[in-house]
A and B are shown apart, each in its own frame.
Chain A
């Protein structure tokens, strides 16, 4: 009797496995990855639809394995805001030596560089592992972005988190005798 029930249970497991989804993308599909999972990179646009990178080179300086190369561009007048802003001419990230340490994401002042939730596709050549600016902006469109951005990572480490904001001491107001300015006609139009 034991044999029959044991065989039955084993066949039931086999039946379950028969209907399980086939693994297509690596050992674990994207859905089962943690929310903070980080792999590969993308450059993003800001809320006005402009390229968010301002070419400040902070990521280039902090990278431990020195894989990021940034060429700063000139200043332009933003069409959306009407203010002057810096731009980036060229941005290269060499994945061959990247440690995926997330330091470049953390230091970015404009949240321009973020990480992806999927890995970069394997390549047959070394050039395929170099993420050029075009590839990085294409990644923003085509691949799911990771959770972390510069401002979110900064907010998590804020040493004053959870404390009430500092209230500035109200300066002792010295009541000055209010002297009304004489209205002159010159001030007008």
Chain B
């Protein structure tokens, strides 16, 4: 990497001999994980400045939530992070329950933990497939890895379909518990998935970790230092790859994580390879958590509240409440301002704090000094989902 001044905040006064070229990457670029535009200022092939422009996938969900009641919000929030919809619902459910002080039965908490970890596996599978595809030409033309990971992801989606009846937009959580009881044979299916993943994750590691091209394209690329990561508010695997030992599953336990020993994976490099290492370690950790819980699901009711009959079933008091949970991408927070009176059934304001937005804010810092071909690698390794950023 050549040493250059860091003019990305003062582009007008940049005095390079060569002319700068402005290049728009996206919004239809296949590796932007949705629709995002990055404006790149190039000196030759080296990036001098990068400006990301989100907003192409804005659907006005937060405004919509002000119209809907707390019961009706659950089917809507599935659409934010469309790679891991289950944890979106859980973030909302946990926020409402903590705000209202509702206890969740132990059976539902176990089920939610298993679902969250399976979602983490499926989300990281999709990330691994597309990341190797972004790096391109690394492993058998880049597409082989994606075929393998999508094969395994299909098993998990089938397992969710067996439980909830839907592959993606589940609506399986409600305030106070879960809606769908565990069907016969579901536990055996989860066990078979765990057994399969135990065999397959070492295979992925063999394909990538030792691969020289993969190492060259990911090591030392897109370094985010510990201080910068903290300053930008990164969370999840991106933060842990920069050497910060922070995981809400262990630090602020939700669901049944207080009954599980969560071992947080931390890497020190802060580059693309470190983020890859953290996510691979999270595969093993998720498999371990699911394995330890699946045999011990306690009997009992699935919900502590009576089943919803009316839209006015849940009411939040006046006041501001913030609660966050750890999703595959990091801390997904929900900020609720209760209705005007104490009996309002819909929020006055509901703000969703997505981890992907913070991950995307690292792009102007991480891209500078790299070449155009590294943009997709860095963007892919940060794993932002535009549906979550724009909402």
Contacts and interface: CB of A to CB of B under 8 A. Distances in A.
Interface in B32-83: 68, 71-76
Contacts of A61: 310-311
Contacts of A153: 179, 307
A157 B309 contact: no
Contact of A106 (B68, B169, B179): B179
B304 interface: yes
Given A106-B179, A156-B179, A162-B301, A64 B68 contact: yes
21 contacts: A34-B158, A36-B162, A36-B183, A61-B310, A62-B71, A62-B308, A64-B72, A99-B169, A102-B165, A103-B171, A106-B307, A106-B308, A107-B308, A153-B179, A157-B178, A158-B306, A159-B105, A159-B301, A159-B303, A161-B301, A162-B301
A49 B311 CA distance: 31
Interface in A134-161: 146-148, 153-154, 156-161
Interface string B269-311: 0000000000000000000000000000001111111111111
Contacts of A102: 165, 171, 179
Contact of A154 (B75, B177, B183, B307): B307
Contacts of B158: 34
A146 B166 CA distance: 12
A36 B308 contact: no
Nearest to B73: A64
Given A37-B165, A158-B301, A159-B304, A103 B309 contact: no
Interface centre among B72, B165, B174, B176, by most A CB within 10 Å? B165
A21 to B, nearest CB: 19
B262 interface: no
A185 to B, nearest CB: 53
A64 B76 contact: yes
A100 B169 CA distance: 8
Interface residues of A, number: 32
Q: Which 6 A-B pairs have the closest CB atoms?
A: A101-B75, A36-B165, A64-B72, A156-B181, A157-B307, A101-B171
Interface of B: 68, 71-76, 105, 158, 161-166, 169, 171, 174, 176-181, 183, 299-311
Contacts of A163: 301
A34 B309 CA distance: 26
A99 B68 CA distance: 14
Looking at chain B's contact residues, is the secondary structure mostly helix, strand, loop, or mixed?
loop
Contacts of B71: 62, 103
Contacts of A158: 301, 303, 306-307
A156 B172 CA distance: 12
Nearest to B160: A34
Contact of B75 (A33, A34, A37, A103): A103
B67 to A, nearest CB: 10
B161 A34 contact: yes
Residue from B76, B105, B300, B309 having most chain A Cβ neighbours under 10 A: B309
Contact of A35 (B166, B183, B303): B183
A146 B180 contact: no
A62 B162 contact: no
B166 A58 contact: no
Interface string A5-37: 000000000000000000000000000011111
Interface in A33-84: 33-38, 58, 61-64
A33 B162 CA distance: 8
Contacts of B161: 33-34, 36-37
Contact of B305 (A100, A156, A159): A159
A38 B303 contact: no
Most buried by B among A38, A160, A163: A38
Contacts of B181: 156
Contacts of B105: 159
